[in-house]
Structure 1
Amino acid sequence: MKHVTAASALALAGGLTLVTPANARAAHDDTSPIGGSMLGRHGVVLDAGAKPLPKTESSAFVVADGDTGEVLAAKDPHGRYLPASTLKILTAVTLIPRLNKNKTIKPSAEACNVEGSAVGLTQHRIYKVDDLFRALMMVSGNDAAVALAETNGGMARTLADMNAEAKRLQALDTVAKTPNGLDKPGQSSSAYDLALIARAGLANPDFREYVGTKVAEFPAPAGKHYQIANHNRLLGSYPGMIGVKNGWTTKAMGSFAGAARRDGHTIIVTVMHNEGSFWGEVKDLLDWGFAARGRVTPVGALVGPVPKARPTKPVGGPPVAAPAPSQPAASGQDSPMVGAGALVVAVGLLGGVAWLVYGVRRRSRLRRDEGA
């Protein structure tokens, strides 16, 4: 069965269309798994007419069409596992829009001394936010993750922002307890969520640049630099590989989220809890995805983010756009409700006292409807 949609024709660099097919769960519906009822299964989820999947030791995986959002195959897609450093994808997706990439910062001693993989930060004001994101996604710098969290206002605020972003993207299996993915009780993600978050990241040009850079210069004290190389072994070796991120801890085992693009089409593959080397398995799953794209019935979908609330429409009147809380009306300017009130008063003066009283009452009722 061949599926041809307008979204599938979009180039990755030109923007992704987040689609939700009929079987995907709506944001307000808690009765079925996110992405469709078939994705609630713990075993392999595959169209009966599809070619067999390659062998994999991963406890969970997702193969999806990155352009249309169609999930082509999966295994335990919503199973919750420790994400290891693949959680840094959420860190980047959350913080890239919030931080000025040209800002120069001085990391704390805590950031410089964090355990695990590191880019080697020192307590000097020589690092741009741009450098830190590159270190985060290229060499999995745990120190860079903490420094970025500090730049965002601290660990508590950053974790709150990350978890809010996960909810906005409908990545509801994901709970961030750290910005770097180091194992911590209660932290989790899923193969489905990693695909969802990675796809959201790939829609951002800066994110694509960070995850797709093979080698870069990184600042050191005294005006010096040293080279850092991307940990993604498929970047440059697998045809069309875009990025994204791998991870590993002794408890999480191996995990990976990545995407490749060929002949105008993008395939996303995520794997979690792989006890061995997953690189060969990811290549096989990508190959399978490119061959299956447009030829198998999807088993679900990567859903879009939760839509923003629309302005309410008062009964008997035109829509009223309420100003954003962070953007109050400037001093000396009337709000929409004040303008409406003045109009009502003018009509009352022309029509007599009775209409004036009616206008005041109507204005009061409208104010209550808008929460004023």
Structure 2
Amino acid sequence: MKLVPVTALLVAVTFTGAAQATPAQTPTPPPPVGGDLLAGRGLIKPVGFKAPPKTKATAYVIADHETGQVLAAKDPHGRYRPASTLKMLTAATLIPKLDKTLKVRPSRDAVNQEGSAVGLQTRPIYTVDDLFKALMMSSGNDAAMALAEANGGLDKTMRDMNDEAKRLQANDTVAKTPSGLDKPGQSSSAYDLALIARSGLSDKDFRRYVSTKTAKFPAPKKWYEISNHNKLLWRYKGMIGVKNGWTTKAQSTFVGAATRDGHTIIVSIMKHEGYFWEEVADLLDWGFAARGKATPVGLLVDPLPDEPAQQAAPVATSHATPSPSRKPMMDAAASEQNASTRTMGSVVIGGGLLFGLVWLGYGIRRRRRRL
């Protein structure tokens, strides 16, 4: 009988397996956050209810703050530049982390940020509370950088903001700056902006910052007054915030929330080419009319649950005394095995036992021959 080398068998098996392999299938993309209907790029409206008013916004979402129901939308998950509406994520991330009474001395880099600014100077005269007002009322890019510095630096703050976006399930959002100034790779969506606004409005300090019309702001010699850039705070009944933005590449972006009869509607718009205040007011009116009557087309999802804290393993010391209730070592090891390790252990032990029995029998036969 001619024996086939083991190497040849392995090669044969390898080539046989390769010949039978099937081409990899393209994975099915996950469903959009908030419901299948929100995958649409055009107008998404409830069946049997009048369509929302027309708007020049490329994307928008109208949602019920209390229930999270999306009442209507247009390209809700389309990714666009957020401009200063990204400051909502900055505030939602940093408000729980920073002491409002902490005094901050902005760096030269912070006070020299381009774009909209509140006029910070490199002096330790600003509290964190002052800087949040400047961020959300006056859209200060200098305040955004000063808050990032107070949080431990720009890199840490960007990690924190993107972690918060993931926690909120704002998966279309990638933050590259704390201010919303355009930067390659930075994006958000109308859905995410509504989601972030809904989360932020649940915080009393966030709501206070975005709803304040005017406030005193510190200066080296005397205070001066700053005003909220959200024009609907003066024009729309029940308006409570939240944030507007604009850059040449993003065009106009805006998120607004208003309350009537104990109910709040959120409207987010992105990439609007012109004057949008009246259009947003009309969308809010439609949202109040549709709430509780129109069939929702999606849902603003809740944040992901916090991961349970892992218990730290006890630290062993050279003077540690074994506990009398501790299991014997072999029992403890056996209890920690999983199915695969138990199977492997059985094979090894069984194989060793068989080898030992064969060897013992061989020795006995040799001994008898010598006798």
**TM value normalised by structure 2:** 0.79
Describe the shift of the 1:36–1:104 C-alpha distance in structure 2 as closer, same or farther (beyond 3 A).
Answer: same
Name the aligned partner's letter for residue 185 of structure 2: G
Describe the shift of the 1:272–1:343 C-alpha distance in structure 2 as closer, same or farther (beyond 3 A).
Answer: farther
The root-mean-square deviation of aligned C-alpha atoms, in Å, is 2.4
Name the aligned partner's letter for residue 127 of structure 1: Y
- Tell me by how many angstroms 1:112 deviates: 0.6
User: Following the alignment from structure 1 to structure 2, what is the Cα–Cα distance between the partners of residues 181 and 91?
Assistant: 9
45-54 or 99-108, which moves further after superposition? 45-54
Task: For structure 1, list consecutive stretches of 5 or more residues without a partner in the other structure.
Answer: 1-28, 312-321, 333-337, 346-355
Give the alignment partner of residue 272 of structure 2, picking from 267, 271, 274.
Answer: 274
User: Following the alignment from structure 1 to structure 2, what is the Cα–Cα distance between the partners of residues 145 and 329?
Assistant: 42
Matched, 1:283 2:281: yes
User: Following the alignment from structure 2 to structure 1, what is the Cα–Cα distance between the partners of residues 229 and 314?
Assistant: 49
Match of 2:174 in 1: 175
Query: Kindly, what percent of the aligned residue pairs are identical?
Result: 61
Match of 1:228 in 2: 226
Name the aligned partner's letter for residue 238 of structure 2: G
Name the aligned partner's letter for residue 239 of structure 1: K
Question: What pairs up with 1:184-223 in 2 under 5 angstroms?
Answer: 184-222=183-221
> Where in structure 1 do 4 or more consecutive aligned residues deviate above 3 Å?
328-332, 341-345, 362-369
Describe the shift of the 1:128–1:45 C-alpha distance in structure 2 as closer, same or farther (beyond 3 A).
Answer: same
Give the alignment partner of residue 256 of structure 1, picking from 245, 254, 257.
Answer: 254
Describe the shift of the 1:122–1:331 C-alpha distance in structure 2 as closer, same or farther (beyond 3 A).
Answer: farther
Question: What pairs up with 1:309-348 in 2 under 5 angstroms?
Answer: 309-310=307-308, 322-323=310-311, 342=323, 344-345=325-326
Give 3-state SS (helix, strand or coil) of 2:246's partner.
strand
User: Following the alignment from structure 1 to structure 2, what is the Cα–Cα distance between the partners of residues 367 and 173?
Assistant: 42
User: Following the alignment from structure 1 to structure 2, what is the Cα–Cα distance between the partners of residues 57 and 146?
Assistant: 32
Cα shift readout 1:322-367 (whole Å, capped 9, x = no counterpart)? 42x6xx87999xxxxx9xx94743xxxxxxxxxx538x62378459
Cα shift readout 1:52-95 (whole Å, capped 9, x = no counterpart)? 21010000000000000000000000000000000000000111
Describe the shift of the 1:135–1:330 C-alpha distance in structure 2 as closer, same or farther (beyond 3 A).
Answer: farther
- Tell me by how many angstroms 1:306 deviates: 1.5
User: Following the alignment from structure 1 to structure 2, what is the Cα–Cα distance between the partners of residues 266 and 331?
Assistant: 55
Give the alignment partner of residue 331 of structure 2, picking from 358, 361, 364.
Answer: 361
User: Following the alignment from structure 1 to structure 2, what is the Cα–Cα distance between the partners of residues 256 and 330?
Assistant: 53
- Tell me by how many angstroms 1:129 deviates: 0.5
Question: What pairs up with 1:67-82 in 2 under 5 angstroms?
Answer: 67-82=66-81
Give 3-state SS (helix, strand or coil) of 1:243's partner.
strand
Question: What pairs up with 1:16-95 in 2 under 5 angstroms?
Answer: 31-95=30-94
User: Following the alignment from structure 1 to structure 2, what is the Cα–Cα distance between the partners of residues 35 and 199?
Assistant: 14
Match of 1:5 in 2: none
User: Following the alignment from structure 2 to structure 1, what is the Cα–Cα distance between the partners of residues 250 and 202?
Assistant: 27
Cα shift readout 1:34-65 (whole Å, capped 9, x = no counterpart)? 00010010000011211121010000000000
User: Following the alignment from structure 2 to structure 1, what is the Cα–Cα distance between the partners of residues 153 and 316?
Assistant: 33
Cα shift readout 1:259-282 (whole Å, capped 9, x = no counterpart)? 101001110000000001110110
Match of 1:163 in 2: 162
User: Following the alignment from structure 2 to structure 1, what is the Cα–Cα distance between the partners of residues 39 and 113?
Assistant: 37
User: Following the alignment from structure 2 to structure 1, what is the Cα–Cα distance between the partners of residues 117 and 338?
Assistant: 55
Matched, 1:109 2:108: yes
Cα shift readout 1:114-145 (whole Å, capped 9, x = no counterpart)? 11100000011000000000000000000000
Task: For structure 2, list consecutive stretches of 5 or more residues without a partner in the other structure.
Answer: 1-27, 340-371
User: Following the alignment from structure 2 to structure 1, what is the Cα–Cα distance between the partners of residues 324 and 300?
Assistant: 48
Give 3-state SS (helix, strand or coil) of 2:331's partner.
helix
User: Following the alignment from structure 1 to structure 2, what is the Cα–Cα distance between the partners of residues 94 and 309?
Assistant: 17
Describe the shift of the 1:368–1:95 C-alpha distance in structure 2 as closer, same or farther (beyond 3 A).
Answer: farther
Give 3-state SS (helix, strand or coil) of 1:236's partner.
helix
Match of 1:143 in 2: 142
Matched, 1:131 2:101: no
Give 3-state SS (helix, strand or coil) of 1:221's partner.
coil
Name the aligned partner's letter for residue 232 of structure 2: L
User: Following the alignment from structure 2 to structure 1, what is the Cα–Cα distance between the partners of residues 307 and 294?
Assistant: 35
Name the aligned partner's letter for residue 290 of structure 1: F
Describe the shift of the 1:277–1:48 C-alpha distance in structure 2 as closer, same or farther (beyond 3 A).
Answer: same
User: Following the alignment from structure 2 to structure 1, what is the Cα–Cα distance between the partners of residues 293 and 37?
Assistant: 18
Give the alignment partner of residue 247 of structure 1, picking from 245, 253, 256.
Answer: 245
- Tell me by how many angstroms 1:310 deviates: 4.8
Match of 2:295 in 1: 297
Name the aligned partner's letter for residue 231 of structure 2: R
Match of 1:352 in 2: none
301-310 or 248-257, which moves further after superposition? 301-310
The count of corresponding residues between Structure 1 and Structure 2 is 310
- Tell me by how many angstroms 1:305 deviates: 1.1
Name the aligned partner's letter for residue 177 of structure 1: K
Bigger radius of gyration among the two: 2
User: Following the alignment from structure 2 to structure 1, what is the Cα–Cα distance between the partners of residues 201 and 337?
Assistant: 43
Describe the shift of the 1:80–1:367 C-alpha distance in structure 2 as closer, same or farther (beyond 3 A).
Answer: same
